[in-house]
Amino acid sequence: MPRNITDHGTPDRFVSGTIGMPGDRTFYLQSRQGADVVTVLLEKEQVSLLATKLIEMLDEVGRTDPEVADAEPAPEDLEPLETPVLEAFRVGAFGIGWDTTSRRVVIEIHAIADDVDVPDIGDDEAEGPDCLRVWLDAAEVRAFAQRSSALVASGRPPCPFCHLPLDPGGHICPRANGYRR
């Protein structure tokens, strides 16, 4: 099956978002370039990890580039996901890199693919998992990471004993020998 690669270049909007109530949320990444909107489904942990790794990359680049180190986040995007939310694919892997020429971060988001290796960044071969590619400057990356971190943190609070998420009525804590907390 031929590979679908969507390269939004510098998107008009690139955000994470959810649908549903805490404990029953579905996480998405959404990119919009003009009228073209691509939405991909992913796990909460993937959103958190992507935000963390992007900031780590900016911190590393910022050690030698003061302009990147001092970049303030772009204006906060508090708008919900654009509707209708039509899932293009489920995320299997990410690729991130820094392009010194354009001074932008490239993010490649790859679909889950059985028995297919994730290609290198910029590899546009005909075979492989579907891919969404975006390029963001340091301010846009910081804004994305800030929104993503807040989104992850807005879920159910963790149990102070076992750190698993608490349901509104409590939960059966493994650290309390099965007693409800």
Whether the predicted pLDDT of 10 surpasses 70 = yes
Whether the predicted pLDDT of 1 surpasses 60 = no
Domains of the chain: 5-156 (3.30.2450)
What pLDDT is attached to residue 181? 53
Whether the predicted pLDDT of 39 surpasses 90 = yes
Whether the predicted pLDDT of 37 surpasses 90 = yes
Q: What is the pTM of this model?
A: 0.86
Averaged pLDDT, 143-168: 87
What pLDDT is attached to residue 36? 97
What pLDDT is attached to residue 87? 97
Of the two residues 70 and 27, the one the predictor is more confident about is: 27
Question: Following DSSP, what letter does each residue of the chain receive, concatenated?
Answer: ----EEE-SS-SEEEEEEES-TTS-EEEEEEEETTEEEEEEE-HHHHHHHHHHHHHHHHHHHTT-HHHHTPPPPPP--PPPPSS--EEEEEEEEEEEEETTTTEEEEEEEE--TT-PPPPTT---SSS--EEEEEE-HHHHHHHHHHHHHHHHTSPPBPTTT-PBPPTT--B-GGGTT-B-
| Averaged confidence pLDDT in the chain | 90
69-122 pLDDT tens trace? 899 999 999 999 999 999 999 999 999 999 999 999 999 999 998 777 777 777
What pLDDT is attached to residue 122? 73
Whether the predicted pLDDT of 179 surpasses 70 = no
